[in-house]
Structure 1
Amino acid sequence: MLEPGFHPVAPGRIAAIVTHLEMRAPPPSPDAKLPEGMMLRQVEAPDPDWYRDLFLRVGGLTWMWFSRLRLSRAELSAVLADRDVEIFALEIDGRAEGLLELDFRDGRSCELAFLGLTPAAQGKGAGRALIQTGIARAFARPIERLHIHTCTFDSPVALPFYIRSGFVAVRREVEVVDDPRLDGTIPMDAAPQIPLIR
């Protein structure tokens, strides 16, 4: 348990405040349609290279997403091929520009593991349609709860967006990890709003 006050973070590491949220039943909400020219496609057992490219463009370059990029090809392939992991790509002109991923592997709940859009898909209302699809698909199974977490590396609109969508914050953590730019997981110029301290 951290005591109140400032806590040093070693050079070469980064720290984020992680907020965990959940919902126990789907909230009433109007249907949100995808903007014209966009479609959502379920991708079963996607190729790891395709997935890594989308993951990096959606979250790695701007928001310091790195967790899936640190998995080996075999580890990532195993996750992507699991029948209890559902992956959807938001496509514009046939190119994936958004990611929705649901993880049912614990058997009792669903994690909304990843949800995000590339800059090409942002600001058009696609996020609302994406999260409503995720909520509906999650509660189509007999789960006890749908949960998600976001952190201070994510877009500043992410946490209020999840709360407006019906999620309730239930706990908070501090995560300290090695800076993924320093080991080549993501490019050195990624997430420039987070200073690199060697």
Structure 2
Amino acid sequence: MKKENPILPDGYSSVPPGKLATVVTCLQMFAPPKPRPSPETESRFALDHWASPSLEAYRAIFRAVGENWMWVSRLVMSDEALNAILRNPAVEIYVLRDGDRPIGLLELDFRQEGECELGYFGLVKDAIGKGAGRFLMSNAIAKAWSKPITRFWVHTCHFDSPAALPFYQRSGFTPYRFMVEIIDDPRLGGVLPRTASPHIPLIEPSAF
């Protein structure tokens, strides 16, 4: 997670032109939860470990999964910095497939000793609501707790699907902290199309 700034004061805080603000919820668990029933459709899915993805292939599925939820960090990251993450043995990347088609991305980050961060977790739009998310999360939990960790954590924000936070809670994560993140609106600079994330208003800097 990025560096932290001073705590915001009570009341309203203005967001600069061209920026976005999102409320982040951090969640954690300290032991593997009781397994949930597997969906009947899970035999359709396969989870492949992606040992050495190319930058182009990784960014393509990152964009396919995250464009409507304002996933942008790996799109603006330098090739050198992203390549260092993708080649780090403490970062495990998986692609969820429905047959031959990639439909989801899972990233488990073990770089902090004794912990695992659910770095990225998501599905392409037309795979949502068909059991793929439960299959992916069950595998994420099993793979995380197969390592010598004492804490598994994730953060989500209000840019994400409204179903994300309750899904994480049903999966065994407990909220423990709120934060506010400020980022450049990636639609204004062309990193994402202007039609991306339609649930987040696009405000032209000239409107201020």
Tell me, yes or no, whether TM beats 0.5: yes
Q: Distance in 2 between matches of 1:155 and 1:93?
A: 25
- Structure 2 residue aligned with 1:190: 196
Q: Distance in 2 between matches of 1:112 and 1:191?
A: 22
Q: Distance in 1 between matches of 2:111 and 2:188?
A: 32
1:11 aligns to what SS in structure 2? coil
Q: Distance in 2 between matches of 1:21 and 1:110?
A: 12
- Structure 2 residue aligned with 1:181: 187
1:90/1:97 contact within 8 Å kept: yes
Using the size of structure 2 for normalisation, the TM-score is 0.90
1:23/1:167 contact within 8 Å kept: yes
Q: Would you say 1:57 and 2:60 are equivalent positions?
A: no
1:70/1:185 contact within 8 Å kept: yes
Q: 1:35: Cα distance to partner?
A: 2.9
Cα distance change on mapping 1:169 and 1:144 into 2, 3 Å: same
Q: 1:137: Cα distance to partner?
A: 0.6
Q: Distance in 2 between matches of 1:22 and 1:28?
A: 15
Q: 1:3: Cα distance to partner?
A: 2.2
Q: Distance in 2 between matches of 1:196 and 1:44?
A: 37
Pairing partner for 1:5 from 3, 11, 16: 11
Q: Distance in 2 between matches of 1:30 and 1:7?
A: 41
- Structure 2 residue aligned with 1:102: 108
The runs of 5 or more residues in structure 1 that have no matched partner are none
- Structure 2 residue aligned with 1:42: 49
1:63/1:191 contact within 8 Å kept: yes
Q: 1:12: Cα distance to partner?
A: 0.5
Q: 1:31: Cα distance to partner?
A: 4.9
Q: Distance in 2 between matches of 1:31 and 1:86?
A: 25
- Structure 2 residue aligned with 1:87: 93
Pairing partner for 2:147 from 134, 141, 144: 141
Deviations 1:108-143 (A, max 9, x none): 200000110002311111101111111111111111
Q: 1:76: Cα distance to partner?
A: 1.1
1:44/1:87 contact within 8 Å kept: yes
- Structure 1 residue aligned with 2:164: 158
Q: Would you say 1:17 and 2:27 are equivalent positions?
A: no
Q: Give the length in aligned residue pairs.
A: 197
1:181/1:188 contact within 8 Å kept: yes
Q: Which runs of 4+ in 1 moved over 4 A?
A: none
Percent identity over paired residues:
48
Q: Distance in 2 between matches of 1:31 and 1:137?
A: 17
Q: Distance in 2 between matches of 1:121 and 1:36?
A: 14
Deviations 1:28-73 (A, max 9, x none): 123525534321111101111111110111012x111101111111
2:165 aligns to what SS in structure 1? helix
1:97 aligns to what SS in structure 2? strand
